[in-house]
A = this chain, B = another copy of it.
Amino acid sequence: MTTTATASTRERLLDAAAELFYRDGVGIGVEALCRAAGVSKRSMYQLFGSKDEVLAAALQRRAPSYETLLIPPKDEPGPPRARILYVFERLEAASTEPAYRGCPFLAVEVELKNPEHPASQVARRAKQALTDFFRTEAERGGAHDPGLLARQLTLVFDGASARAGVGSETLDGLTLTTAGALLDAAGVQE
């Protein structure tokens, strides 16, 4: 294959993998994966050593768009409280999509049950970026304990994405109210 063909095969495989793993879970087989991507198993194994590596790379490829979806741009400062609540507005909007199955990173961690798995490590870093964002804004907003507030907001985010993803909860303002109460308790004003 040429370099361009390889790049396009790689991208096609990773996009199909991200979609399938999200929809059906990490147990999806290599056959189904390659079929969905329109890629031969031989091509897959030329690019990746194992399905685990495909999973890790597919999550990694998804991380930037996830961040763009949830986190407001750096060059639009705005008040810290509003910037934090923006994340929950985006989460609530995403959770109403019919294909929503919760946070893809948390789901992979729950499914793999192995923090050492390369995909769990990718997922943990992606989630850490969200907690770090909360912490930065909590500091800017004068929270009594920015680290604590960031962890609390992450709990709410993960609980909400998991519950909405499995169809046990319709958020409908629930995370905004909850995050709002925690911001109040931490002393982060409008």
Q: Which residues of B contact A87 (CB under 8 A)?
A: none
A19 to chain B, nearest CB (A): 13
Do the beta carbons of A25 and B111 come within 8 Å of each other? Answer: yes
> Would you call A181 and B185 a contact (CB within 8 A)?
yes
Beta-carbon contacts under 8 Å, A120-176 to B: 120, 124, 127, 148, 151-152, 154-160, 162-163, 165-169, 174-175
Min distance, Cβ A133 to any Cβ of chain B, angstroms: 16
Q: Which residues of B contact A177 (CB under 8 A)?
A: 148, 152
In this complex, the member of A107, A167, A175 whose beta carbon has the largest number of chain B beta carbons within 10 angstroms is A167
Q: Does A113 lie at the interface of the complex (its beta carbon under 8 Å from any beta carbon of B)? A: yes
Q: Identify which of residues 9-58 in chain A touch chain B, using a CB-to-CB cut-off of 8 Å.
A: 23-25, 27
Whether, in the assembled complex, A106 has its beta carbon less than 8 Å from a beta carbon of chain B, the answer is yes
* Contacts A25-B111, A101-B113, A185-B185; A159 near B166 (Cβ below 8 A): no
Interface assignment of A102: CB less than 8 Å from any CB of chain B: yes
A79 at the interface (CB under 8 A from B): no
